[in-house]
Structure 1
Amino acid sequence: MKTAFVRSKKRVSLRMLLGSVVLLATLCLPSCFSLREPEAPTAASDYLAPTQIDILLANFTTSVQTLNTVNYERNFSGPQYRFVPDPGSAGTAASLFTNWSVSEERDYFSSLRRRSPTTSQNQLTLTTRPYQFFTTDSAEVSALYQLRIVQSDTAFKSTMLEGNIRLLVRRRNNEWKIAGWRDQRTSNALSWTDLKKHFIRN
């Protein structure tokens, strides 16, 4: 009888010991793994359906300023899109822009974003001229731009870019998109072509 009582007591002790081990292991688990903060949504809520050219330009400006890669890419039309660089800025790297498409826009912009402080914002000013309509669904936007950038790549020293931007815009399914982009320097400052040339390579 006494032996049975001792065995029963040992079983209870063993169960309590096992329970303590499991509890201790559970409490230690959070320190074994580094938990990440939830990622912010990839597309900002300030993106509006570009049913007008002005809305498209506002989306474009905001995505450049906030370095929102998803919204930046949404401004472009797709397979037919092409970027034509400023010849002087492209220089010997002109072939780099031969087949420049939306994919290259995304890649250069993502590279710029990786080298920019998370708290910084670019400043883009577009001084637009009256749009030139070719049809009801296509037009050209011409504007002088000033783009002030904040980034950490010391190999690219300029903080202010200037030039003329000419955008071929097209409407499809009642939304305007950028179908073509021609860049042109207007001063001794670096242009947008210089920015793209550097960050597509780095």
Structure 2
Amino acid sequence: MRLLYSRSPWLLLSSVLCAACFQIREPEPADAASDWLAPTQIDILLANFTTAVQRLNVPNYERCFSGPGYRFVPDPTAAGTAAALFANWSVSEERDYFNSLRRRTAASATHQLVLTDRRDQFFTADSAEVSALYQLRVVQQDTAFRPALLEGNIRLLVRRRNNEWKIAGWRDQRTSGQATWTDLKKYFITR
């Protein structure tokens, strides 16, 4: 019995110290990562991309792109006199324009992105180009940007690294008289 009492202060002290080792943290917002799936296939990458665009999930949108080598090539007619704006367009500009768009969109609003007529062309086992027609319906509150429907051809250069596919390049191309994704990026990067 004496042995038990002599160890009690040590047990109490060690349990208090152990409790300090485990700190409670704030939970992540519900939409931050819950929609994300490891993009081990191109289809999963495109699903992550589509979901991030529709729900305006900036962290997941940014996760779709690969680092320093990423480039966006705008539709030349939509870029117009602002072509220099896109000269060094990288992942940080993707994030900035998307954040600006999100800030000007009601919290309950969602966009609608539909990709059709998709074609994949593999260059190697870890590199491909995905080409598809897109229709993007945007719901935002900035009345100076009027187009609600954007459409064109999206050509994504995708690469696999560490068994995950990422977008390494993006070329936008006009296919009709509608506004394009380039128009959206051009407007919201400066807002």
Same fold (TM over 0.5): yes
1:81 corresponding residue in structure 2: 70
Following superposition of structure 1 onto structure 2, how do residues 128-139 of structure 1 map, counting pairs within 5 Å?
A: 128-139=117-128
2:145 corresponding residue in structure 1: 156
1:7 corresponding residue in structure 2: none
Query: 2:108, 2:28 → 1: CA distance?
Result: 15
The offset of 1:40, in angstroms, is 2.4
Q: Deviations over 1:127-172 (max 9, x none)?
A: 1423100000000000000000000000100100000000000000
Matched, 1:106 2:95: yes
* Aligned AA (2:120): Y
Please, which runs of 5 or more residues in structure 1 have no aligned partner? 1-37
- Cα distance change of structure 1 residues 173 and 39 upon mapping to structure 2, 3 Å threshold: closer
Give the root-mean-square deviation of aligned CA atoms: 1.2
Q: Deviations over 1:93-122 (max 9, x none)?
A: 000000000000000000000000000000
Query: 1:128, 1:80 → 2: CA distance?
Result: 27
Percent identity among equivalent residues?
76
1:197 corresponding residue in structure 2: 186
Query: 1:192, 1:130 → 2: CA distance?
Result: 19
1:92 corresponding residue in structure 2: 81
**TM-score, normalisation: structure 2:** 0.84
SS in 2 for 1:50: coil
* Aligned AA (1:165): I
- Of 149, 157, 164, 1:175 maps to 164
Query: 2:44, 2:61 → 1: CA distance?
Result: 13
SS in 2 for 1:109: helix
Q: Are the counterparts in 2 of residues 167 and 180 from structure 1 also a CA contact under 8 Å?
A: yes
Which has the higher Rg, Structure 1 or Structure 2? Answer: 1
Runs (4+) off by over 2 Å? 38-42
1:144 corresponding residue in structure 2: 133
How many residues align? The count is: 165
Matched, 1:49 2:30: no
